[in-house]
Each structure stands twice: as C-alpha cells, then as structure tokens.
Amino acid sequence: YLANTLDPIVPLSGPKLLPDQTYDDAKEQFDVILIPGGIIGDGKAEHSLMNFLKRQGPNAKHILTVCTGSWILSSTGLLDGKRATTNKEMFKVIKEDTKDLPITWIAKARWVATEDKKIWSSSGVTAGMDLAYAFLEYITGKGPAEASAGFLEMIVNGEGDDPFAAKNGLV
Amino acid sequence: YLANTLDPIVPLSGPKLLPDQTYDDAKEQFDVILIPGGIIGDGKAEHSLMNFLKRQGPNAKHILTVCTGSWILSSTGLLDGKRATTNKEMFKVIKEDTKDLPITWIAKARWVATEDKKIWSSSGVTAGMDLAYAFLEYITGKGPAEASAGFLEMIVNGEGDDPFAAKNGLV
C-alpha cells in the first residue's frame, strides 16, 4: 500500500488508511500493481505516482485498475495500442481527455483485459470485484476463485454484464 | 471508526486502518452503529466491544451487521426475539452456538431487517453492500440510493437473492 507520504490517508469514506511505503521509496519491482480510482479531478495524478507507474509498469506482470484508475494509467503510455474501460459516469469525459492517445475505450464491459492479459481495467468501483474474480480465476484457476467467492458470498457478474453503459447513454 | 485501542488495525487483507476513538472513550450516543464481521474464532468479542454495544444498543436508532457481525451482536441480548441472518458458511456453527437464545436465524436471505427496522443483518461480506443499498433506500428514499448505486456501478441483489443458502445446504 503505497502513497505520496507515510501520513494517514483520509479517504472519501471509510476509516483512515496507513501506507506501508512511499512511491519514491518503493525500489523493488512489484509483480502485480493495483491502481484504485475515485474522484481525481482532471485525471492528473501526482508526479511521484506517475514516476512510480512509469518505472514499474514495463516489468510488472500485471497492472489492474478500478474505476478512474485507468484514467491515471492512460497518461503513462502503458495503455497505448490497448483496450480498456473505466467508470461509466466519467466515460465521455475520460474518452475526450485522452482522444489524442491510441487507447480503445470499451463502453459496454464490466471489465476489460488486454490481449496479453497484462493490463486489466474495470468500470466503477464495485466492478472491481468482478475484475478481481476474473483475475483470480486467470491466475489460480476456477477452484480458488469459486472458494473465495463462496466465503465472501459474492454474486459474480460477467465481463459483459454491464447495464451502466446503456444507463449512461454509451451504447 | 472505533477499536479497542488507537493502534493501527492490521486487517486480514487491505491496508492498515486507523481508529478514531476507542470503545471505552466513545461517550456520545451514536444513531447508527455498523458491526463488521470477519473470522472471529468462537464468536466472543472483547469486553470493551461488548460493553460498548450493550451501552449504545438500546438507544441507537439502527444497528447494522455484516457477515459474522450478527454473531457478535447475538450475545448482547439485542437480537432476542428477533430475526437475523449471517455468513452462510458459518450459519450452522452460529445457529448451534446461539441455540439457547431466542433468535430466529433466517437461512435464505441476502439480508434481514427486524420488524421495527432497528436491526439490519447481512450474510457474507459482499451481501453487506446489498444491505447498505436497502438501508440507504429506507433512510433516504429511492433517488439517493439509485444515484449512489449508479456512480458505484453496483448491480444490486434483492433481499431474497441468496444462492449461498442452497450452496451450503441450508435450504
């Protein structure tokens, strides 16, 4: 759990969180990186986060994004030539903001994986759970994914089960 | 966000959390209390938590529990004569443990509200989101609840949409 500083993070809701390391201090290469989203104004994240993603991205095995996390990722170049999705209420804003980048934004999708399965992006935050299920199934196979969903009592929605694209006039 | 001490909480997964107050120091009466669950061994929570619930419970407007949170609540007496549900993989253990208490455990339910709408309990953790939706709708009406679900892209499951009761042989 990384952040700009080691100060407690005050989220929009929920308890304060304590980061383990700062972006600048994280020197080891991570295998899997998860970028959460949220309300991020103009989609421009702090330099230390962007530098971290540019430094780690090429050799990370997998990068997962939730909600507007793909908006952050878009300006690193790591999504160039690839497919991705994002929060559906922010979809048009993000598509317009990144119109000069070679990114294929998919409107009707609960989540999207790139062809090489390196980058996985989800729609709005709860879609992140469906992405996590699909990613876990990809990494571990059906058994552990189903066992996790069973204990969490998670009713899994599939890749294409996305009513929010239509609700937001995107399809 | 209350805990036994102000020390950071290290959850089973996710970042460390910072409590705002201890159970013992929380003197004001809360309107809404949410008891999360998790793996809680024999269902016996710490004295400071139990004392807090016994002190606050009678005058709280609403008490919400998620997963095994209703197991914690069961030994306060606040569920006596009432209906509740809990995690479905733990259902039989919890029903057996509380067999001397006058609690009606409902097996097939994503969540259960008591008749006076004071106590709302959900099944395993992801069912807590469906409970939160239903509770928000009860408190604020359909509009704000639907707007929240829209932004979160939450596919809401209804009160009776519970495949996990059958999966665990409870119905």
Residues across chain A: 171
Q: Which residue, among A129, A153, A156, A164, would best test binding to B if mutated, counting the most B CBs under 10 Å from its CB?
A: A153
- Indicate the pairing of strand A111-113 with strand B62-65: unpaired
Angle at B67 between CA B40 and CA A109, to 5 degrees: 130
Q: Can you say whether the dihedral through the CA atoms of B124, B129, B135, B137 is positive or negative?
A: negative
Whether B17 sits inside 8 A of A19 (CB atoms) is: no
What is the per-residue pLDDT for A39?
78
Question: Higher model confidence: residue B100 or residue B41?
Answer: B100
Q: Which structure tokens are listed for A110? A: 């609960």
Cβ-Cβ contacts under 8 Å for B112 (sequence gap 6 or more): B83, B84, B85, B106, B120, B121, B122, B159
Residues of chain B with Cβ-Cβ distance to A124 below 8 Å are 151-154
The three-state secondary structure class of B2 is strand
**One-letter amino acid for residue A29 of the chain:** Q
Q: Give me the pLDDT at residue B102, please.
A: 98
Chain A residues in contact with chain B using a Cβ-Cβ cutoff of 8 Å: 1, 8, 14-20, 87-89, 123-127, 129, 150-155, 157, 161-164, 167
Q: Measure the CA–CA gap between B110 and B92, rounded to whole angstroms.
A: 16
Query: In this predicted structure, what is the pLDDT of residue A115?
Result: 97
Say which residue the tokens 């938590």 belong to: B49
User: pLDDT tens-digit profile of A136-169?
Assistant: 999 999 999 999 999 999 999 999 999 999 999 9
Q: How confident is the model at residue A42 (pLDDT cuts 50, 70, 90)?
A: low
pTM: 0.94
Which residue in A49, A131, A46 sits closest to A84, CA to CA?
A131
ipTM comes to 0.93
Q: Residue A38: pLDDT band by 50, 70, 90 thresholds? A: confident
Q: Which domain holds residue B69?
A: 2-168
Query: Tokens 């804003």 map to which residue?
Result: A93
- Residue B154 has φ and ψ, to the nearest 5°, of -90, 125
The enclosing domain of A32 has a CATH number of 3.40.50.880
CB–CB of B15 and A20 under 8 A? yes
Average pLDDT, whole number, for chain B? 95
Per-residue pLDDT tens digits for A85-121: 999 999 999 999 999 999 999 999 999 999 999 999 9
Which two tokens mark B126?
Answer: 């992801």
Q: Which residues of B touch A154 (CB under 8 A)?
A: 124, 126
Task: Read off the pLDDT band of B43 (50, 70, 90).
Answer: low
Residue B13, classified by CB atoms within 10 Å of its CB into exposed (0-12), middle (13-18) or buried (19+), is exposed
pLDDT in tens, B54-105: 999 999 999 999 999 999 999 999 999 999 999 999 999 999 999 999 999 9
Q: Which residues of B touch A167 (CB under 8 A)?
A: 150
Average pLDDT over residues B165-171: 97
Residue B64 CB partners (closer than 8 Å, separation 6+): B32, B33, B34, B35, B119, B120, B121, B122, B131, B132, B135
Number of folded domains that form chain B = 1
pLDDT tens for residues A115-143? 999 999 999 999 999 999 999 999 999 99
